[in-house]
Copies of this chain bind each other. A is one copy, B any other.
Amino acid sequence: MKPPAAPTRNYHHGDLKNTLLATASQLIAERGAEAVSLREISQAAGVSHTAAYRHYADKQAVWADLAEAGFRELAEINRTRVAKTKGGPVEQLGACGRAYVEFGVRRPHLLQLMFGGSIVDWQSYPSLVQASAALAETLAGVVKAGQESGELRAGELGDLTLTAWSLVHGLALLIVGRRIPGVTIDEGFVRHAAERSVQLLIEGLRRPPTRRAKRN
């Protein structure tokens, strides 16, 4: 019932919404959300500085859309890594941790946008909330599988998941924020920090029983 001709493009631009999103994504990747204006994005997209208001209520809505895409991408990466990981839930959790941290290092400004408080009224964007929750559920799935297979301890799934999430989340933010004194952040450090942290979380900080002391 739609008119056959007249492809999606119309008056001036065609697919302005996606063009805006891609432009914004690139500018933010370069300089961070704090340093990017809506007028600038519009100009880079080749439209007047008010055109975006046809597609977004305001600047926050653009940020929310970008953050949502970030959450979906990060969750997808996690799922892929989990699926690819040989070994049990312990190894899978390690893979998630690495993926989370590597994502942050690869796209620091996007991670800041997702978690840094640039988006004030989170509740106004239900699909953003949902995408963020989906990320947590990826981790929850791994923990749950580990409990069912008996490799991870019993207890409230939410508690264990929150703990694992907090660890990888905090690690990624500390690294991306360059808040760790005295270290150079390169691929080697990221891999080591992620693996060691997840290992310590899984095995515990407490001194292991001596009967089976592993060399460290």
Q: A117-B32, A165-B170 are in contact. Are A204 and B207 (CB under 8 A)?
A: no
Q: Which of A186-210 contact B (CB under 8 A)?
A: 193, 196-197, 200-209
A14: chain B residues at CB < 8 Å are none
Q: A116-B116, A116-B117 are in contact. Are A170 and B166 (CB under 8 A)?
A: yes
A160: chain B residues at CB < 8 Å are 200, 205
Q: A212: shortest Cβ distance to chain B, in Å?
A: 9
Q: A186: shortest Cβ distance to chain B, in Å?
A: 15
Does residue A23 face the partner (Cβ distance < 8 Å to B)? no
A75: chain B residues at CB < 8 Å are none
Number of copies: 2
Contact residues of A: prevailing secondary structure: helix
Does residue A171 face the partner (Cβ distance < 8 Å to B)? yes
Bound CA–CA A162/B167 (angstroms): 10
Contact with B along A115-143 (1 / 0, CB 8 A): 11110101000000100110010000001
Q: A34-B117, A162-B180, A200-B163 are in contact. Are A205 and B173 (CB under 8 A)?
A: no
Q: How many residues of A contact B (CB 8 A)?
A: 61
Contact with B along A132-172 (1 / 0, CB 8 A): 11001000000100100011111110111011111111110
Contact B203 A163 (CB under 8 A): no
Contact B197 A206 (CB under 8 A): no
Q: Chain B residue with minimal CB distance to A214?
A: B153
Q: A74: shortest Cβ distance to chain B, in Å?
A: 13
Residues of A within 8 A of B (CB): 32, 34-35, 90, 93, 112, 115-118, 120, 122, 129, 132-133, 136, 143, 146, 150-156, 158-160, 162-171, 173-174, 177-183, 193, 196-197, 200-209, 216
Can you list 25 A-B pairs with a CB-CB distance of less than 8 A? A115-B173, A136-B179, A136-B181, A143-B205, A146-B205, A151-B206, A156-B196, A159-B193, A162-B171, A162-B180, A163-B167, A163-B171, A163-B196, A165-B174, A166-B174, A167-B167, A167-B170, A167-B201, A201-B204, A201-B205, A202-B205, A203-B204, A203-B206, A204-B205, A204-B206
